[in-house]
Structure 1
Amino acid sequence: MAADLTLLVPTFRPRLETLLANCRARGVEMRPYMGLRTPLEQAKLWRQSRSREQIDAKVAQLHAAGADYLADCIVRVGPQNGDPVTNAVPGLSWHQWGEAADCFWVVKGDAEWSTKRLVNGLNGYRVMAEEAKKLGLDPGGLWRKFPDWPHVQLRPEPSPLGRMTLKEISAEMQRRFKR
């Protein structure tokens, strides 16, 4: 599966394309598989590793902040199962803003997910992180609390919360994604 890079914001897309070209120049193919992600998709990922109590508490917190659309996204997707892959609830991931992408490393035509395997002395995820830093992007693999090696984003801030309230984020997500 390939991400539709045309859905990314114009300030991020060319930098991501340069990042991919720089990785290729070093002998590493990184392939974007996720760019713009809907709040419902984000809700599924967030819910998949949370207990019922955690989910109920987060939904109540979002409703209390006036972020009803975000809370409703979490409720609407229903039970999910899987390993933890994100700490970001809907609206708080830069994916919903078109400012983030997830890429996998291609080795001999297959997706390689190891952050330790070396091919010709290189690990694709580590090369991507190095090259992203050079371009002023924020590579998730270098995050201290929750490393996310396939992830790269435009901004260094972990979420839009420093710029907007939960209520404002919820309204913007509803405007962009509710059909």
Structure 2
Amino acid sequence: MGFVPDETSEDSRIAGLHPEVRAKMDTLIEQAAAKEIEVVITSGFRSSEEQDRLYRQGRENSGNIVTNARGGQSYHNFGLAIDFALRDGSGNIVWDMEMDRNGSGRSDWMEVVELAKALGFDWGGDWENFRDYPHLQIDFGYTIRQLQNGKYPKGSLVEVEEAVE
């Protein structure tokens, strides 16, 4: 998979997503907006190098541990995952799982998760060993090992790039 440097725009990270993941991400943002919830996509495609930098956070570098996946071990590395946050009333990006800006009586975060699951996303908050609350992925039934060995969902940008080479 092609390297996407850190300086790239958010659009490049979104462009690296599988077309179906991208379409469902757009639908999720629209459905949440209809409920007066502003979803912000904080991560899409990540290069293996970027994934390794995130893995070192909280281990070799300062900060909290944010992933247990090294480069090539995350669905982000194959364009099959996104991370999200919400925008608060002041326009700040927040990871507040309790906030109820739309006054529905339910957490905006969990409303987004419910919408995402209905669209076919798996939620990292359901994981047993390492709960990753901002993480959403569609794996199309592929394991990381299969992806690493060159098996990709139909329509994957990786599949298309390899067919062209």
Normalised by the shorter chain, which TM-score bucket?
A: 0.7 to 0.9
* Contact 1:137/1:156, CA 8 A, preserved across alignment: no
Residue 164 of structure 1, CA deviation: 5.0
Per the alignment, do residues 14 and 122 of structure 1 end up closer, same or farther by CA in structure 2, a change over 3 Å counting? same
1:40 to 28, 44, 49: 49
Q: Residues of 2 paired with 1:25 and 1:140: CA distance?
A: 24
Matched, 1:7 2:7: no
Q: Following superposition of structure 1 onto structure 2, how do residues 120-131 of structure 1 map, counting pairs within 5 Å?
A: 120=103, 121-131=105-115
Aligned counterpart, 1:82: 63
2:83 is paired with a residue whose SS is strand
Per the alignment, do residues 122 and 3 of structure 1 end up closer, same or farther by CA in structure 2, a change over 3 Å counting? farther
Using the size of structure 2 for normalisation, the TM-score is: 0.74
Residue 2 of structure 1, CA deviation: 7.1
Aligned counterpart, 1:116: 98
Q: Residues of 2 paired with 1:43 and 1:25: CA distance?
A: 36
Unaligned runs of 5+ in 2: 1-7, 151-157
Answer with 1 or 2: which has the greater Rg: 1
Aligned counterpart, 1:26: 35
Q: Residues of 1 paired with 2:134 and 2:142: CA distance?
A: 16
Per the alignment, do residues 152 and 3 of structure 1 end up closer, same or farther by CA in structure 2, a change over 3 Å counting? farther
Q: Which has the higher helix share?
A: 1
1:121-143 Cα offsets, whole Å, 9 max, x none, are 33232112101110111122232
* Contact 2:45/2:78, CA 8 A, preserved across alignment: yes
Aligned counterpart, 1:67: none
1:46-87 Cα offsets, whole Å, 9 max, x none, are 12223xxxxxxxxxxxxxxxxxxxxxxxxxxxx422211111
Unaligned runs of 5+ in 1: 51-78
Q: Which consecutive segments of 4 or more residues in structure 1 shift more than 3 A?
A: 156-159
Q: Residues of 2 paired with 1:30 and 1:2: CA distance?
A: 18
Q: Following superposition of structure 1 onto structure 2, how do residues 59-98 of structure 1 map, counting pairs within 5 Å?
A: 79-98=60-79
Q: Residues of 2 paired with 1:93 and 1:141: CA distance?
A: 15
1:160 to 144, 159, 165: 144
* Contact 2:98/2:108, CA 8 A, preserved across alignment: no
Q: Residues of 1 paired with 2:51 and 2:118: CA distance?
A: 28
Which has the higher relative contact order, 1 or 2, with Cα contacts under 8 A spaced 6 or more apart?
Answer: 1
Identity %: 31
Per the alignment, do residues 2 and 122 of structure 1 end up closer, same or farther by CA in structure 2, a change over 3 Å counting? farther
1:5-55 Cα offsets, whole Å, 9 max, x none, are 2221112110111111111111111011211111111101112223xxxxx
Letter in 2 for 1:107: D
Q: Residues of 2 paired with 1:122 and 1:107: CA distance?
A: 15
Residue 107 of structure 1, CA deviation: 1.4
